[in-house]
Amino acid sequence: MPKKQKTSSVFTRYWKRKSTVDNHCKSQKHVIDVRSQKESQNKTQQLTLSSTQAVSESKKQLIEDQTFLLKKQNYLPSVFDKHFQSLKLLFDSKPVAIIMDETTDDCARSVVNTLFCYRNETK
């Protein structure tokens, strides 16, 4: 019959390693290294003139892009309303078939195509 191996907890089995780690963490050198690491993380680097200009240019571009999006936000609802009104006038109180198809465009974005059919007229 083979001998059973003794099972012991991690702490009793590796007591030498644990005490070594504990002693290192309490050592003066480790404490100083931890403190200097924290201080270096807290320090901020002063920006140079060229880096400030580069950041400024990117911020200007971002502002211009946002302005364009805001113009779209104001423009598109009015276009939608005009198109909606023209469809209402065209199909007013008439039986209409609505066909919707979801697909993707060239850039892999989702697109919904909507067709309104009334007799031979499709919009």
Both tokens assigned to 18? 């644990």
Domain boundaries, the chain: 10-42, 50-90, 93-123
CA distances from 61 to 2, 48, 50, 65, 72 (A): 76, 20, 17, 6, 17
Q: Bridge partners of 49?
A: none
User: Residue written as tokens 């009793």?
Assistant: 12
Q: Note down pLDDT in tens along the chain; length 123 residues.
A: 555 555 555 445 455 677 777 887 888 888 898 888 888 776 766 667 777 777 778 788 777 777 766 777 777 788 888 988 988 887 787 788 888 899 888 888 888 888 888 777 766
Q: How far apart are CA 83 and CA 91, in angstroms?
A: 12
Please give the pLDDT value at position 117. 81
Q: 76 is written with which tokens? A: 């598109």
pLDDT the model gives residue 5: 57
| pLDDT of 119 | 76
Q: What's the confidence (pLDDT) of residue 109?
A: 86
Ramachandran bin of 24, using left for φ above 0, alpha for ψ from -120 to 50, beta for the remaining angles:
alpha
